[in-house]
Structure 1
Amino acid sequence: MFSDKDIQGLYDHKGILIGVFISSKLWHAIEDEVNPIIDKHLGTSEENETVQVMEEPIEDWENFLKFWDFRYPVEKNVVCDNCGAETSDWTADTPKKFLLKAANIAGLVSFQCLQCKSRIIKRHFKDHIKYEIIPFKED
């Protein structure tokens, strides 16, 4: 079902492991099991969710921009097709409409709509972006 290519270490110039890349296919298969473990180690919980809401992986976004080599300009617009929220620049909104949830140098950038909690995923390929929305589901 999965192969070694679905999980790869990311190393710095000294050979030190700085992160792990998990394919979206593998992530979708394991995220429900892994997220509680990650939350436990990050010290997050439902009680402090309001504090967690404002934390964004901005360093990951900056690394994404640093390694940008696509054939089109960086776009900062985000649209939630679930509730209609939209922005032309998520980095400049006050108050925020979307929360950056993840970004990686492979081109995956995802946001959470702060209005309806849907997940907006932008998969950057060399010559286009594939957009995906995952509506929020209460557990």
Structure 2
Amino acid sequence: MRSYPTNSTKAVSRLLALTMIVDGHLAPSELKAMRAAGVLPRAALDEDEFDDVVRDLCEDLLASAARRCSAEVEIDGRLLDSLLGEVEDPALRISVMKAMLDIVHADEVLDARETLLIERAFRAWSGPGRQSSGRRGDRQRVQA
């Protein structure tokens, strides 16, 4: 998985993209919710650049997939924590979390994988020493 600079627009975009696809499909209502949240313009990112990040995320997920023949790709908990760690600014974390919550609620179906992603982000961003304990959700599945 490629890395992006801390607090960069690409790091933020990847988290939003992951939030959209973690349940196995990208719903139009999720894209609409992301646009309404206004995170991309505040991060000085246009939709073409966002599309590039989505494509790169999908390529990275497929390239690192252990079980390519299944319909799901697993994301290791440490990798997910690393992606979340690319956003360190507290104000930016709040904006991203709000957008993530708007996205997962947009299609009015809260999937277990979306819940695990949000829970992991809350744990990772809740302060020093509060990273994932390695319990439930140590691997996140994404349908391909």
Higher-strand-fraction structure: 1
* Structure with max Cα Rg: 1
Higher RCO (CA-CA < 8 Å; seq separation 6+): 2
TM-score, length-scaled by structure 1: 0.30
More helix by share: 2
